[in-house]
Amino acid sequence: MNAQTSPVDKFSEKYVYSFGKNGTDGDTSMKNLLGGKGANLAEMASLGLPVPPGFTLSTEVCTLFYKNNEDYPSGLSEAVADAVTKLEDEMGMKLGDPANPLLLSVRSGARVSMPGMMDTVLNLGLNDDTAEGLAKRSGDERFAYDSYRRFIQMYSDVVLGLDHYEFEDVLESFKRSEDITEDTMITADGWQEIIADYKGIVERDLGRPFPQDVNDQLWGAIGAVFKSWSTKRAVTYRKLNNIPSEWGTAVNIQAMVFGNMGQDCATGVAFTRDPSTGENVFYGEYLINAQGEDVVAGIRTPQHLTIAGKKANGSNLPAMEETMPEVFKQLEDVRTKLEAHYKDVQDIEFTIQQNKLYMLQTRNGKRTAKAAMKIAVDMVSEGLISKEDAILRVDPEALDQLLHPTLDPKAERHVLCKGLPASPGAACGAVVFSADEAEQKANAGIKTILCRTETSPEDIHGMHAAEGILTTRGGMTSHAAVVARGMGRPCVAGAGSISIDYKAAEMSVNGETIKSGDIVTLDGATGEIMLGEIATVEPELSGDFETVMKWADEIRRLNIRCNAETPTDAKTARHFGAEGIGLCRTEHMFFDPARIMNVRKMILAENKDDRLKALSALEPEQKADFKELFEIMAGLPVTIRLLDPPLHEFLPHSEKDIEALANEANISVKHLKSRIAELTETNPMLGHRGCRLAITFPEIYAMQVRAILGAATEASVKPEIMIPLASTRKELEILKKLVDDTAANFNVEYTVGTMIELPRAALCADELAELAEFFSFGTNDLTQTTFGISRDDAGRFLPAYQEQGIIARDPFVSIDVDGVGSLVKTAVEKGRKARPHIKLGICGEHGGDPQSVAFFESAGLDYVSCSPYRVPIARLAAAQANLKR
């Protein structure tokens, strides 16, 4: 269903790509083949940056691995052996050589970053002999055995599938018995004791010893990385991020460097600019004498890279700029080089081994929408990129974050405590303590705040389901922070004064206890956590936002309208730049409590006279509605859809409402119930609705047309009257005549058009265009009928469809280009053939989906119409679509 999901059917002969001083096979353009990490390691190596040498097994190997029932393609083992030899030559060390052992890291690396989703093995190559050798050669016994125990622990978890708690228990009880609190206090002997216990666990659980053969270790790790592509958490992440399972992951095998060999060693992560605000400051954290995973996992509180960063965050731990000024200068140099080369913000990982800097990774940095705006605008003024590049640089979906309300600064706040402002925006909801609970509550329509000591990839589904995320540990680059920013969820991280008691399902802070279900509010911009619900205000859009939007408006061809029927929505949409209303659903006006009684009387009327009476009571109210909308949209086009839903939708369901209506309509409850039953439909979606209502009850549309045209005579709007659900020329002929006949009593300009929301309408669009002055694609219904899937019922099978890769994206979110899209194209072609200047738009949910907007641009529509908050997204997406054409 998606062009990107087509399986690889031609494979290269080459499976293994080396990088290093002795020659580099890949570059950054080869991301699909080498994964993001592998391609960028190769690119950095070519740029002359200090990258530990290594090689990459391509994503094709992964595809072949799954294609061949988890078996490797022939020739792979020879190619890996060659690459290892090349690596040994460059390093002057040998894998498994006790005298001078080469250690390796084995890491995953997909086309797009999936942070923390897949498995990694470090310190590979250690066994009883090489550990001893490493101790001798490094002169640091403690380091060597610490490395060995780390390797056993990691390998047992990732490759051998043993429970990591068993190993942690050993470590904890050793510390207890020795009465020490920190790992750093364990001596070489202590580690050796622990190693013996670790090996015992492996032998007991598996019935065989921990593998001593370094080649077995290597192939075990490679297999584990490939298999980690199919773990539940990776599958969930791909589903949420629309990553096809066919892409596969690469495996990066690299010489180990050590950030944990002493006080002249360190490891860190950084962004070349602030990923929260977009400011052009070097932004990052490091830990002395640590391995890289320690920073990301958020277990130790990291230190800031720069003095400015340290000050801004009120930290009193020394900055790297202070502790390692020389290496820091090298790192700053790398920062400048990378930005100049990639012309985008980079997210980097580095290790310092004995005062020597090694670059372990670079990739385009994830950023908040606000930061994306600022970075794009700044880079244009810095001359790094063009306006067009800037437009392409901002993810339209991410704008959502900027457009939603933030906390009202004037509202009273009962601040419980403060954490790190990890992802901006305000969120309010019931406290939950597990991802599963967040998901269950979301399904029941309850907004939640997910509260965890720290989050892990297993929590992804709950983070997605929650309104906001709160953690008590971890920094700005912790898992929770990175993922929340990517999702656009507000997040407060590392709120250390809170302690969570999972068992009691409560948390306490400063003597206050907050139970599961209590309402709290997070301010992701300040890091504040408040009790209760706090009032919000509309966001003030930054100058950078306005600048980017102005550029987008200059570049885009598509007009952007909004779907709105209330004055509030219409005003919001106009504020966000809507160029008219593409869909005003008149039925929404019917549901107003003040008028629903007349609507119901109209429906229950046993004859035309009674129906006319009820309709004429509704008419002045409809007219007033339209007038208000027209005034808000003065000078812009407004498309009004005549009544669409089946009439039974307006009838009451509860006993109380039924009784009230029976009294008011002066009929018996029994009679009313039988009338409601009579109007009930087997498949209401395919029933007596849309223009079918007007074929049987023309007086309903006649009333609406009078209300529209009456309002238009008093406002400066030329209404576009839209007939829904037409599938034949004759329906349109009859109803256009009804509109025209009614309009004869008004002196006002208008046009008449139709929705294209049924396959037949698309297939016979030429006939419809003979009468319709415009088409508006109702892609929601068109998707329902083209696929034969009811949106209301899809929940029972659509998730399975996404899990099994049957559909890449929910077709109600992103248009199905091959099926529904082909009907859209047919209708555009046939419609324009019959009426060359027919106006063409789309007003389904897809109007606010960037991928769909790209399709509508290519299909040559005149406008897209979407919900008010998605108008800026659509504006930007339309500009991108025009640039990508």
Residues that bind a second copy (CB under 8 A): 1, 681-688, 692, 695-696, 725, 727-728, 730-731, 734, 757-760, 763-764, 767, 781, 784-790, 792-793, 796-797, 800-801, 804-807, 816, 818-820, 822-823
* 539-545 CB contacts, 8 Å cutoff, 24+ apart: 539/402, 539/403, 539/404, 539/405, 539/406, 541/402, 541/403, 542/370, 542/373, 542/374, 542/402, 544/278, 544/370, 544/373, 544/374, 544/376, 544/377, 545/370, 545/373, 545/402, 545/872
Q: What does the block give as tokens for 807? A: 């559909």
Smallest separation (angstroms) from a second copy to the CB of 766: 10
Count the neighbouring beta carbons within 10 Å of the beta carbon of residue 658: 16
Minimum CB distance to a second copy smaller for 36 or for 778: 778
For residue 677, the one-letter residue type is: A
Smallest separation (angstroms) from a second copy to the CB of 779: 13
Minimum CB distance to a second copy smaller for 536 or for 728: 728
Residue pair 370/277 in contact by the 8 Å Cβ criterion: yes
Closest CA to 738 of 691, 777, 780: 691
Smallest separation (angstroms) from a second copy to the CB of 45: 39
Query: Of all helices (H) and strands (E), which one includes residue 267?
Result: strand 266-271
Closest CA to 531 of 419, 690, 412, 706: 412
CA–CA distance, 80 with 874 (Å, rounded to integer): 47
Minimum CB distance to a second copy smaller for 521 or for 785: 785
For 539-569, letters b (16+ CB in 10 Å) and e give bebeebbebbbebbeebbebbbbbbbbbeeb
Closest CA to 363 of 115, 548, 117, 119: 115
Is 575 designated active site?
no
DSSP string, 763-785: HTHHHHHTT-SEEEE-HHHHHHH
Minimum CB distance to a second copy smaller for 210 or for 697: 697
Minimum CB distance to a second copy smaller for 139 or for 799: 799
Q: How far is CA 691 from CA 266, 683, 838, in A?
A: 70, 17, 21
Smallest separation (angstroms) from a second copy to the CB of 254: 36
Minimum CB distance to a second copy smaller for 152 or for 765: 765
CA–CA distance, 730 with 769 (Å, rounded to integer): 12
Smallest separation (angstroms) from a second copy to the CB of 246: 11
Smallest separation (angstroms) from a second copy to the CB of 762: 9
Dihedrals φ, ψ of 269, to 5°? -130, 150
Q: Which residue is catalytic, options 265, 584, 764, 843?
A: 843
Smallest separation (angstroms) from a second copy to the CB of 237: 20
Find residue 777's DSSP bridge partners: 756, 842
Closest CA to 409 of 520, 509, 539, 532: 539
CA 685 to chain centroid, in Å, comes to: 30
Smallest separation (angstroms) from a second copy to the CB of 586: 20
CA 323 to chain centroid, in Å, comes to: 38
Q: How far is CA 404 from CA 99, 369, 457, 519, 728, in A?
A: 61, 12, 27, 20, 42
Q: What does the block give as tokens for 716? A: 């400066």
Minimum CB distance to a second copy smaller for 166 or for 246: 246
Terminus-to-terminus CA distance in the chain, angstroms? 20
- CA dihedral defined by 786, 791, 794, 795, rounded to 10 degrees? 160
Minimum CB distance to a second copy smaller for 180 or for 813: 813
Smallest separation (angstroms) from a second copy to the CB of 753: 18
Smallest separation (angstroms) from a second copy to the CB of 691: 10
Smallest separation (angstroms) from a second copy to the CB of 763: 5
Q: Which residue is catalytic, options 461, 479, 648, 846?
A: 479
Smallest separation (angstroms) from a second copy to the CB of 800: 5
Smallest separation (angstroms) from a second copy to the CB of 142: 52
Minimum CB distance to a second copy smaller for 180 or for 685: 685
Minimum CB distance to a second copy smaller for 773 or for 803: 803
- Which residues make Cβ contacts (< 8 Å) with residue 2, sequence separation at least 6? 244, 808, 809, 817
Minimum CB distance to a second copy smaller for 681 or for 829: 681
Minimum CB distance to a second copy smaller for 280 or for 822: 822
Query: Of all helices (H) and strands (E), which one includes residue 16?
Result: strand 16-19
Q: What does the block give as tokens for 665? A: 């309509």
Is 843 designated active site?
yes
CA–CA distance, 396 with 373 (Å, rounded to integer): 10
Token look-up 């022939």 returns 74
For residue 649, give the DSSP letter: G
For residue 724, give the DSSP letter: -
Minimum CB distance to a second copy smaller for 42 or for 756: 756
Dihedrals φ, ψ of 281, to 5°? -125, 150
Q: Is 625 helix (H, G, I), strand (E, B) or coil?
A: helix
Q: What does the block give as tokens for 220? A: 């075990």
CA–CA distance, 221 with 125 (Å, rounded to integer): 11
Question: Computed over its alpha carbons, how large is the radius of gyration of the chain?
Answer: 32
Task: Supply the residues annotated as catalytic.
Answer: 479, 843
